[in-house]
Structure 1
Amino acid sequence: MYIKVIILIVVSIVTLAAPFVGNAFLPAFTIMLNTLHASKTDVNMTSTVFLLALGACPMWHAYFSERYGRRPVYIFTTIIFVISSVALARATDIGVVIGLRFLQAVGSSTAQSVGAGTLSDIFYPHQRGRAFGVYYVCPNLGPLLAPIFGGLLVQWRGWHAIAWFLALYGVAMWIMLFILLPETSVALKARQAARTLPSPTTTPPRSEKKWYTRLGEETFNHCLRPLQSLQYLAFPPIGLTTLYISICFSCTFAYSTNIPYEYAAAPYYFSQISIGLVFIAGCLGQIMGSVTSGKLSDMLVIRSKAQLGDAYRPEVRLKVSWLGVPFVPVGLLLYGWTIETNQFWFIPLIGIFLFCIGLQLANSPIIAYYSEAVPGKSASIVAVHNLCRMFAGALVSAVTPTAIASIGTGWFMTILAGFTALGALALEAVRRWGGRWREEREEREREREMVQAQERGQEKKS
């Protein structure tokens, strides 16, 4: 068991990288405007590009991890992260900075999808809720620690110091992965075991494919096949839960991109370090929600299996998700209207705290649910989940300044709160009918396997 705990700790620390890198530069935006001689739109683009890459790249990470193993993907992408961070520390052009931020996302986003696959490899279903609860503590620490470290480093040595710090962090992370993380992929181990079996008496015919045919197939496999993971969105339990979390998660970028401007202006006039400390409220809410949801999720699973036996349904986890549903719109409304009316600085942060508790109460059980809804494909499904929520976050991040300037913070947060409330209907649909949808899918899979087996039998006879 202690090996599982070590792996859980290592993967959780690696998962911290992406949210930390994504938030570390927020306090440096005003400094980057001057040193890079760039516009506010250009500086904001560094975050938008990072979010888009953070959403897309885990699909390829998940595919490569299921084909070549978890460990090589972790180690190789961490090298990309270190190199891009060193180059960013020496960059002086905004275009170069945007490109390197893309590469930072490529290198730091591995655990966003592969982490879930790693935990599913080593933990039994009744242990996964608590494991995922612990797993999400570190990524929730990212938005807490990053603005604080970023603000301190900017005031000490400028924004380049953030990049140097991230490079050192990447080196430490690579050493930890190399020493402590074994290969966990169940699929890879099964393929390796199959290759060690005695060869059959009849050898299969040698492939007659030309080199350029094989090259084309490998290019397709490495470049386009990961996109086939998007097909999971057509499966209602995956598509509907992803829709709800994407709506809620996108609201995170609405308030996080708004906070620096609101608290730097009247009546608050916060410094850069003080603005970084403001983000503590949301991070504490996410940590509390993540740990609580993990424990409650496992308790419900154990109780349900004891009561129902073979009639157990994984959708029982979504009861915990429903505990967080009311907190999300309430938190957004409280933040939006207290900021709009210039209330005491602490009151809007209560809204952020409530929102983040609700978000994590909803999200953690859903991630654990994926490993049971489609067994063996959790890494690819979480990658698709991550893609949708990051793209939603990038969209909301892009429209937030214009929307707030047009209708105000209060009404904009009210609109977002309405979307989260409507999105909860998708979550309820999965809780009610998810079991039936899974059974229908499993029946289709069995029928397809039977047809394929019959076709192979006919080929052998001919």
Structure 2
Amino acid sequence: MSNSPHFTKHLSPDNSSLISNVNNVDSSEIARENSETSTITEKEDPPYSVFTKNEKAAITTTVSLSAFFSPFSTNIYFPALHVIQQDLHTTEQLISLTVTMYMIFQGISPSFWGAMADTWGRRPVYIATFLFYSLASFGAGCSQNYPSLLVMRMLQAVGSSSAIAVGAGTIGDISTPAERGGYMGIYSMLTQLGPLLGPFLGGLISQTLGWRWIFWVLAIMSFVLWVVLVFFLPETLRSLTGDGSGYANPTPIQYWKRKFGKQREDAIDNISKFDSIIPPLTYTHNGLPISADILSEKKLKADKLILEDNDVKQQKKLHLNVFQSLSYLKEKDIAVLLFYNALQYGAIYSMLTSLTKLFTEAYQLNTLQIGLCYLASGFGSSLGSFSSGRLLNWQFNRYSKAFCNERGQAERSVSRKNIDPEFPIEAARLNLTWIWGIAFSLFTSAYGWCVQFHVHIAAPLTMAFFMTYTSSSTFCAINTLLVDLFPNNSAAIIASNNFTRYRMVLYHSIPYRICVKDDSYCGAKIWPKMEATAN
């Protein structure tokens, strides 16, 4: 009996009652042990996530590559539009409609996928949508007429659009507010490689293998990533797995490990560590000795009942609200963030889609040279996202230190789980956004004038670099703030952001076509022309 208190001290408070029944320990002694355990727990700050730094980096890279397919599928298609038009014997307007419909479904679909990911988990959405996307890409390459291509492009958008919203939610699951900016920067950087590589690879594949191979390459790449998602990406939704140690939507390895009782073996191994201190037959029940193996069996059964009870409670909470992402637009402060983010995204998209036509006419470039011109904006996006992520972490820690010092608290992050309501999180994330906004406006105007008056090609490419650098910094800051504000519905709020961005892309396409058609790139005559078009 003298060894029993020493053993119960290493168990959680929930399981101490089991040991007390087995060993007939006095209730006052159990209460004292529980109080000691709770005191230790209060002193120790439990980790926000069980994933190590390397595991977090691997998860971030995987979800970033998944999100890469959304803009990549859009931009890889552009160089082959004219070839596809001729091969399918259709018109320029109808081929352009495939781009428009792709963007419409890109904006609508994340509202559904984001709600599913915040309710049923990240893994099911990733696995289902990427298999769907891979099949749609293969079907697009096999299209023999225009209607089938249009349908396949819409299905492609439905499949690829989930990764943008779900990826940001996944990063929110595994990262604390103090480190979230850095991971969001990496996520945005890899995502922005789509506009960088898409046009160049699209033109190269179309010229060497034919336009159908554009879609077949997408199908092969997405299927390989789908295999990685199935076997290696763990479930991270905190309402299902907590800090990541819970069991939900398992990978095959997790499933087989649980099926063959690896948890039981690990528990018994942990019990055996105390053999040198506690004799194997020192526990008694009703005067009879009980071995450590029997005791571990009882503990495992108790843990199983607790897990099953939690699963039942969790299932009662699961209800899908596909309109949740749209409800955020009713909040004025959120609507302002989304609208400003969408304005810059629409401007960037107009610049990217018009670059081929404008630079071909203004600088007489061939297809390969045009593809190389996209590198400037691509590098700007990647560098802006990466540097902004590091800067966001530095800003958060600076504000956190000042906040804690003002209240006489320890110099540490404000919270590892939920941000203190009094903490100025908006200032910590958006402190430099106004500078980026002014710079973006200046560089955008300068880009238009440079192309309008055929200034040396280095000038507009430099302006394009800084346009995407400043806009990516803004995107990263706003997206990180949205995840901070809605940690339990991060996929849904990013889906709302995606919805407003692609709506703005459609609005930007009207003035862009008017200006490009009449060689007015700087936008000085845009409103009279729009009015004349409307009349």
TM superposition score normalised by structure 1: 0.81
Q: Is the 8 A contact 1:129 1:294 kept in 2?
A: yes
Verify: 1:376 aligned to 2:488, yes or no. Answer: yes
How big is the shift at 1:347?
1.5
Verify: 1:259 aligned to 2:355, yes or no. Answer: yes
Match of 1:314 in 2: 425
Using the alignment, how far apart are the partners of 2:237 and 2:307 within structure 1? 23
Verify: 1:158 aligned to 2:253, yes or no. Answer: no
Match of 2:398 in 1: 303
Q: Is the 8 A contact 1:293 1:320 kept in 2?
A: no
Using the alignment, how far apart are the partners of 2:435 and 2:394 within structure 1? 14
Q: Which one of 183, 187, 197 corresponds to residue 306 of structure 2?
A: 197
Max radius of gyration: which structure? 2
Deviations 1:238-284 (A, max 9, x none): 1111010111100122112211111222x422222221221111111
Match of 1:345 in 2: 457
AA aligned opposite 1:22: T
Verify: 1:364 aligned to 2:489, yes or no. Answer: no
Q: Is the 8 A contact 2:452 2:519 kept in 1?
A: no
Using the alignment, how far apart are the partners of 1:122 and 1:360 within structure 2? 23
Using the alignment, how far apart are the partners of 2:160 and 2:323 within structure 1? 20
Match of 1:34 in 2: 86
Deviations 1:47-102 (A, max 9, x none): 11111111111111111112211001101100111111111111122222111111
Match of 2:340 in 1: 244
SS at match of 1:113: helix
How big is the shift at 1:122?
0.4
Using the alignment, how far apart are the partners of 2:307 and 2:323 within structure 1? 35
Verify: 1:188 aligned to 2:300, yes or no. Answer: no
AA aligned opposite 1:8: T
Q: Is the 8 A contact 2:170 2:236 kept in 1?
A: yes
Q: Map 1:106-117; keep pairs closer than 5 Å.
A: 106-117=158-169
How big is the shift at 1:229?
2.1
Q: Map 1:71-86; keep pairs closer than 5 Å.
A: 71-86=123-138
How big is the shift at 1:412?
5.6
SS at match of 1:61: helix
Q: Count residues in correspondence.
A: 396
Q: Is the 8 A contact 1:323 1:361 kept in 2?
A: no
Q: Which one of 377, 382, 385 corresponds to residue 287 of structure 1?
A: 382
How big is the shift at 1:399?
4.2
AA aligned opposite 1:350: T
Q: Is the 8 A contact 1:66 1:188 kept in 2?
A: no
Q: Is the 8 A contact 1:403 1:412 kept in 2?
A: no
Larger helix percent: 1
Return 5+ residue gaps in structure 1 as ranges.
208-217, 416-462
How big is the shift at 1:161?
1.2
Using the alignment, how far apart are the partners of 2:482 and 2:398 within structure 1? 19
How big is the shift at 1:391?
1.2
Verify: 1:269 aligned to 2:355, yes or no. Answer: no
SS at match of 2:487: coil
SS at match of 1:294: helix
Using the alignment, how far apart are the partners of 1:321 and 1:93 within structure 2? 47
Q: Which one of 494, 498, 502 corresponds to residue 390 of structure 1?
A: 502
**273 and 228 in structure 1: CA distance in 2 versus 1, 3 angstrom threshold:** same
Verify: 1:92 aligned to 2:144, yes or no. Answer: yes
Match of 1:214 in 2: none
Q: Is the 8 A contact 2:343 2:501 kept in 1?
A: yes
Match of 2:323 in 1: 227
Q: Indicate the RMSD between aligned Cα atoms, in angstroms.
A: 2.4
AA aligned opposite 2:386: V
Q: Which one of 420, 426, 441 corresponds to residue 329 of structure 1?
A: 441
AA aligned opposite 1:286: S
Q: Is the 8 A contact 2:134 2:218 kept in 1?
A: yes
Using the alignment, how far apart are the partners of 1:199 and 1:356 within structure 2? 50
Q: Which one of 45, 51, 74 corresponds to residue 103 of structure 2?
A: 51
Q: Is the 8 A contact 1:246 1:388 kept in 2?
A: yes
How big is the shift at 1:233?
1.4
AA aligned opposite 1:236: K
Using the alignment, how far apart are the partners of 1:373 and 1:67 within structure 2? 18
Q: Which one of 144, 154, 167 corresponds to residue 102 of structure 1?
A: 154
**196 and 8 in structure 1: CA distance in 2 versus 1, 3 angstrom threshold:** farther
Deviations 1:14-64 (A, max 9, x none): 111111101001111121221122211111111111111111111111111
Q: Is the 8 A contact 2:102 2:153 kept in 1?
A: yes
Using the alignment, how far apart are the partners of 2:308 and 2:472 within structure 1? 50
Q: Is the 8 A contact 2:133 2:222 kept in 1?
A: yes
SS at match of 1:411: coil
**226 and 196 in structure 1: CA distance in 2 versus 1, 3 angstrom threshold:** farther
Q: Is the 8 A contact 2:173 2:487 kept in 1?
A: no
Match of 2:74 in 1: 22
How big is the shift at 1:402?
2.3
AA aligned opposite 1:7: I
Using the alignment, how far apart are the partners of 2:375 and 2:238 within structure 1? 38
Deviations 1:189-242 (A, max 9, x none): 369799953899xx99xx9xxxxxxxxxx9xx76xx312321111223311110
Using the alignment, how far apart are the partners of 1:300 and 1:414 within structure 2? 39
Q: Is the 8 A contact 1:330 1:351 kept in 2?
A: no
**195 and 17 in structure 1: CA distance in 2 versus 1, 3 angstrom threshold:** farther
How big is the shift at 1:414?
8.3
Q: Map 1:53-68; keep pairs closer than 5 Å.
A: 53-68=105-120
